[in-house]
Structure 1
Amino acid sequence: MAKNTSLHFRVVEGKDLPAKDVSGTSDPYCIIKVDNEVVARTATVWKNLNPFWGEEFTLHLPTGFHHLSFYVLDEDTIGHDDVIGKITLSKEAISSHPRGIDSWINLNHINPDEEVQGEISLELQVVEEAHKGALCCHVIEARDLAPRDISGTSDPFVRVLWNGQVLETAIIKKTRFPHWNELLEFVLEEGTSGETPLVVEVWDWDMVGKNDFLGRVVFSLDAFQKAPLKGWYRLLPFPKEEEDAGGKLGALRLRVRLAEERILPSRYYQPLVDLLVESVVCPPEEENVTPVALLEEVCSVESRQDVATRLVKIFLGQGLVVPFLDYLNLREISRTTDPNTLFRSNSLASKSMEQFMKVVGMPYLHEVLKSIINRIFEEKKYVELDPCKIEPSRTRRISFKGSLSEAQIRESSLEVLKGYLRDIMEAIVGSTKECPAAMRVAFKRLHKRVADRFPEAENQDAKYLAISGFLFLRFFAPAILTPKLFNLRDQHAGTQTSRTLLLLAKAVQSIGNLGLQVGHGKEQWMEPLHPFILSSIGRVKEFLDRLIEVDCEDEANRKQSWTLVHPSATIKEGYLHKHKADGLHLVSRFTFKKRYFWLNNKSFSYSKSPEWQARTSIPVQQICAVERVDENAFQQPHIMQITTRDNGSQLLTMYIQCKNVNELNQWLSAIRKVTVSNERMLPFCHPGAFRGSRWTCCLQTNRTARGCSRTHSAVTLGDWSDPLDPDVEAQMVYRQLLLGRDKLREKHQEFVKRGPTQEQGSGAQKGSDANSQRTAMAARLLEVIQALEQAHDAFEHQEEEEEEEEKAQISITPPP
């Protein structure tokens, strides 16, 4: 049994941000931290006080996080970025909303005294000797302290306060991982109250100005008077409530949800999985009788996308994803009377197809669109067709003779757009063989279901529209509109490029709609593109016909291992900067060499360029840690270390620099995922480098000294390439059913009250049978929910008993 914690957060948009630039605007972006560690950075939205980001992240992490923080900054090309404000959500606050937080939250000022982090190792005890008592505070070490100096480190010392007395440790220079190992003693006088608190404070010493606060821990004397306390204690800020800025710094719209689950052994989820599979393998004639249908009815609209993702992954693992989608699509098609409204709602069928394409088809999307999207970003051409938005001053780059006329701008823009569209459509219609087999088979079944449901001559295009509605309108067009959200680019487009992408996305949508809405919308200024759109419809139909010419249903549906990526397939690749093995004595910026890296499930390899024949390859099984490195180690940001163990069990470390924090987190996450089953992973690491005969992080002089920081091998970012974990997915489905149990009970009672009908005839008998089936299915689903709830309670009770036994064992163990 394991515990699984997933933190889902979406930075939607901001409003009323203060202007930080002389132009009267700002260039805002967000930094997201979990317990003061940067886990994500949004793109910068230039010259905007009401920015839209729409960036979504899922973070898988250990259960021990404390808070999630969002910092809004204004990017400056010269000097340091300006801090606008922050929002901090505690774990308890997030947990108090089972369905998640979705609201506008005001930004607050940043108080340096509240920006504390890290832990301190202490041993506290009261010693009685010769009618004299002493309170002993053994200050051992601290880790992960906040950096307060420009070097990215601090000069920490500890101040202990008790009963009006103050004692201090020595100052350890330039480290966030200090080792003191000092014993501070206070004389205990008779009559001293046990309620007098012992306060341990950590400070950063400054030669000029006042010292900086790094955190504190408060103990009651009664807590360790009978038995000593020893352990690691989290540093906390001064007890001061955060002042609400009252909206003066603006606000963010955030969506945050915490899924903290106890994952039971597989056998406990099997009845639930069997019920779900039964919906697909043995579907009844009555379409709303099955567990999947009941699940859709009881889960909230807001959670439908998450439920769809979980179900897609469960059925992928069962090798039944195509029959599952076929079952949902058939339900949707059978209750649709007008083919023009088919799949237009956010039903479970629509969401499941959408998530299926993202989970299975993301490499395909990148192969089709990435090169053309990159070219659009690089060329930065001014494009506009709307007469109301044309800005002649922007066209000076186009013509050396001055500004162009409105007609010339429209003509130039039309040619540019047609050129981009031509390349996009060529890439799409020529991608038949690259499209994943499972997608092609799912589209083939969808095509047949729609053709059978709407056989009339006037509805001949319905079977094409059903496929293109998903492939073009929900897959290709959104990726063209916002490439950042589909990992096609690291940054959002600027205003000019964003407008180009919007016009292209509109055109691709019109092509995907087979030109049905061409000429009927309000945007008549798109008319110059209509001939190209209409001429593309025939090619799209031919492409869709080729796409469904597939006879590989067995291959598409066969049961897969719990990964969506073939062992030899490249999971991630790109240029990074690798630390030169013998470059420790050189200036830091010269010790990193540009290399091209590849990662798959078997190896992590690199060479001078993608075309270079000679590659250095590291077996994934030899990797025992992958961690970020402090900036002060090389005076450079965004560096990670990969520690491997060779055949002789010797540890070797490679340092790699990424271009930004998002790329760093993506590489960390990808490598951690492929090493998830590795044995002998390191529990500790050095976040610095061994330079000048000592570690830059903790200043230890022994090169083989145990790491001063805990490793974070369980922290990964969720994305389309996440390995399938059937127990985790089933637990999440159970959680949604548990949230909707009251509604399910109401439905069960409703079915029971209906009872068998007394009317005569085959129709009445059929209705009676359907109601009996619904009643029985709702009862079975409630039984499965109850059984899983009881299993969770039993495991929780068992854990509590084990914790009590462990505490009792500690309390009877005599102190050394």
Structure 2
Amino acid sequence: MSERVDLWNNGNLVQDVFLGEIKVPVKVLRNDSFQAWYLLQPRENGNKSSKTDDLGSLRLNICYTEDCVLPSEYYASLRNLLLKSSDVQPISASAAYILSEVCRDKYDAVLPLVRLLLHHHKLVPFVAAVAELDLKDTQEANTVFRGNSLATRCVDEMMKIVGKHYLKVTLKPVIDEICESPKPCEIDPIKLREGDNVEINMENLRYYVDKVFREIVRSSISCPTLMCDVFYSLRHLAAKRFPNDPHVQYSAVSSFVFLRFFAVAVVSPHTFHLRPHHPDAQTSRTLTLISKAIQTLGSWGSLTKSKLSSFKETFMCEFFKAFQEEKFTESVKKFLDDVSSTESKEPSGLSEPVHLKEGEMYKRAQGRTRIGKKNFKKRWFCLTSREFTYHKQQDKEPIFTIPIKNILAVEKLDESSFNKKNMFQVLHGEKPLYIQANNCVEASEWIEALCRVTRCNQKRLSFYHPSAFLNGNWLCCKATIENTVGCARCTADVPADTQIEIDGDRETERIYSLFTINMSKLQKLEEACGSIAVYQGPRKEPDDYSNFTIEDSVATFHTLKQIIDIVEKLNESHEKYRKKRSSSAKYGSEENPIVGKVS
């Protein structure tokens, strides 16, 4: 068994060039550290033998790390310290921020940190806190969130995790069209091939750009709730930092959703699972040009004449003259309003309510306390971007209407409530509306559609009752007060296709490992904080910690002491576990696996 390692030349995301590949036996990865030279080989082509050229060689330095995840209770102290990071003042004194400071590569810290905070619903306040710190050092409104800070990396990672389905429903159809039926789009006179017609190419590119742009600005209804919540925070923080700039609230959001999300996915669709493979050279060039266009269209106010003159390439300046109409700027503004609002809105660019779904299902009469077949009536349901209604028959006037903004939650209903399958409930301030779909697929589709259109409602519930209130009590928790808080956490806050499986203990273990590796930095930072706090004099050995952010030496010292104590206790727990495993676990079991060849 072996692992394949491919070597590519990445030219600033313009085009990846395959250089060669090697295969490394898995058994060598079990060494603590492995170094060796390998000759690069041509790419395998099924059973056909490829011509072996002199492709050069590649030296690998591979480190193999084995995660040993202890039972959940061992991580309680570290987990709680990390989860309360957003409440620490200043945020630079929090455990999560210190983690990013001591890690040589911030990405090592960001991935497990974001996943852990996501899992425990703590990411939004943390991002808001580190973004506010980021803005303190930002002097000009046009550079808001353009660097690679902890805040921007956290948002980038969050979008990659929760935005996969959003990209799929928004971009995949048009990306497939571009890759499977490509049209020539080169408009750089220097790169034109013989026989190319620049006018035709420009028209092809304009068609693709317009189509991608149109799909994006109409997609706000599919934007995951978590992304909307983060964008809302960033928007208002930026407006607070630069109160005299009316456009910064839009550029703060567009710098992420256009520049760091959609534009990157367009130029590299294979990395976002929109395409199975890296596209060919011509298609890559087309995607690059489209990506540049989307970045520019998404940059608030970038289509003015003064901005067009700043294009480095003359051909791009000429191309964008076709996009100077006010409708493009207004579409971007409307889209950014939608994805960074706390209130439900219709999809961008649409002034009339949009029909999203309709069909026949059964509803239970509200207010009935007894269970019976007569309580359920067949009704025609209709969902638009503004309201959810039901009617006696199709094309009849609605019997009952729920404004979308009034829907608080949409959840499945336990089958035991009425001894009926495929039921769900719509909570809207009055009595819950109980509905039975015709099958499980239809039920899931309705729940998903309702969740998407209500994802930005400000008063969304966090808890609900999974069963009905009958005969004076909730069947799920036996509470006797009808308007009591729910006994189960809402699961449909985020549509099922955007939910992710996260092992909180594994992520905490990775963070513990990072703290362990960087223990010397933690100790030096602790010494620095102690020196500042006690003496209030010149700092000693500034090279050891001059790159760290120490806003409040006392608060930072307190957090560092907690981290070091917790890590030392976890070290002891890991050591005890290793000794127990090696002495008691049977050789060849999962706890003590065989390493190497069996003689």
TM over 0.5: yes
Mapped partners of 2:163, 2:256: distance in 1: 12
Structure 1: tracts of 5 or more residues without a match: 1-6, 16-44, 54-71, 73-84, 111-149, 151-244, 396-408, 559-567, 569-597, 603-718, 760-766, 808-816
Q: What CA distance in whole angstroms lies between the structure 2 residues aligned with 1:426 and 1:724?
A: 34
Matches within 5 A, 1:613-632: none
The 5 A counterparts of 1:723-762 are 723-756=501-534
Q: Please state how far the C-alpha of 1:86 moved relative to its aligned partner.
A: 2.9
Q: Which amino acid aligns with 2:175?
A: I
Q: What does residue 428 of structure 1 align with?
A: 216
How far apart are residue 452 of structure 1 and its match? 0.3
User: In 2, Cα distance between the equivalents of 1:297 and 1:255?
Assistant: 25
Distance 1:461 1:783 in 2: 47
Question: What is the rounded CA distance, in whole Å, between the counterparts of 1:494 and 1:449 in structure 2?
Answer: 42
Show the counterpart of 1:392: 194
Q: Deviations over 1:431-470 (max 9, x none)?
A: 11111111111101110001001112xx322221121111
Which residue matches 1:714?
A: none
Match 1:86 to one of 11, 19, 22: 22
Aligned equivalent of 1:464:
250
Corresponding letter in the other structure for 1:276: L
CA distance in structure 1 between the partners assigned to 2:176 and 2:263 by the alignment? 16
| 1:192-341 alignment runs, 5 A limit | 248-251=54-57, 258-280=64-86, 282-284=87-89, 286-301=90-105, 304-341=106-143
Are 1:770 and 2:552 an aligned pair? yes
**Paired residue secondary structure (1:386):** coil
Structure with higher Rg: it is 1
How does the TM-score come out when normalised to structure 1? 0.47
Q: Are 1:359 and 2:176 counterparts?
A: no
C-alpha separation in 2, matches of 1:768 and 1:324: 18
Give per-residue Cα distances to partners, 1:489-537, cap 9 Å, x unaligned: 1122222222111110110111222354543232121122222444323
Amino acid across the alignment from 1:305: Y
Q: Give the whole-Å Cα distance in 2 for the aligned partners of 1:354 and 1:737.
A: 23
In 2, Cα distance between equivalents of 1:720 and 1:744: 36
The 5-angstrom pairing of residues 307-706 of structure 1 reads: 307-393=109-195, 395=196, 409-456=197-244, 459-514=245-300, 516=302, 518-535=308-325, 536-551=328-343
Distance 1:327 1:556, change over 3 A: farther
Match for residue 565 of structure 2 among 783, 787, 791? 783
- Shift of residue 90 of structure 1? 5.1
| Cα distance in 2 for residues equivalent to 1:757 and 1:542 | 54
Q: Number of residues paired by the alignment?
A: 419
SS of equivalent residue, structure 2 residue 117: helix
CA distance in 2, matches of 1:350, 1:90: 36
Change (3 A) 1:801 1:94: closer
Residue-by-residue CA offset, 1:667-716 (whole Å, 9 max, x unaligned):
xxxxxxxxxxxxxxxxxxxxxxxxxxxxxxxxxxxxxxxxxxxxxxxxxx
Calculate the aligned-residue CA RMSD, in Å. Answer: 3.9
TM-aligned CA deviation for residue 486 of structure 1: 1.0
Given that residues 359 and 721 in structure 1 are in contact (C-alpha distance below 8 angstroms), is that contact kept between their aligned partners in structure 2?
Answer: no
8 Å Cα contact 2:145-2:152 kept in structure 1: yes
Distance 1:88 1:444, change over 3 A: same
SS at match of 1:390: coil
The residue aligned with 2:451 is: none
Deviation, structure 1 residue 328: 2.1
Once the 2 structures are TM-superposed, how far is the Cα of residue 339 of structure 1 from its aligned partner? 2.7
Query: What is the percent sequence identity of the aligned residues?
Result: 28
SS at match of 1:392: coil
- For the structure 1 residues 788 and 89, does the alpha-carbon distance in structure 2 shift closer, same or farther, using more than 3 Å as the test? same
Amino acid of the structure 1 residue aligned with 2:300: L
Cα distance change, pair 290–95 in 1 and its aligned pair in 2 (3 A): farther
Decide which structure has greater helix share: 2
Q: Give SS of 1:381's match.
A: coil
In structure 2, distance between residues paired with 1:109 and 1:502: 29
- The code of the aligned residue for 1:787 comes to K
Task: Return the alpha-carbon distance in structure 1 between the equivalents of residues 117 and 551 of structure 2.
Answer: 28
**What amino acid sits opposite 2:576 in the alignment?**
A
Question: Displacement of 1:480 after TM fit?
Answer: 0.8
Q: C-alpha separation between the residues in 2 aligned to 1:335 and 1:557?
A: 40
Change (3 A) 1:465 1:89: farther
Question: Secondary structure of 1:368's match?
Answer: helix
Query: If the length of structure 2 is used for normalisation, what is the TM-score?
Result: 0.63
The AA in structure 2 aligned to 1:500 is T
Q: Could you say if the C-alpha distance between residues 9 and 343 of structure 1 is closer, same or farther in structure 2, counting changes exceeding 3 Å?
A: farther
The residue type paired with residue 528 of structure 1 is: E
CA contact (8 A) 2:32 2:64 kept: no
C-alpha separation in 2, matches of 1:469 and 1:486: 19
CA distance in 1, matches of 2:8, 2:61: 10
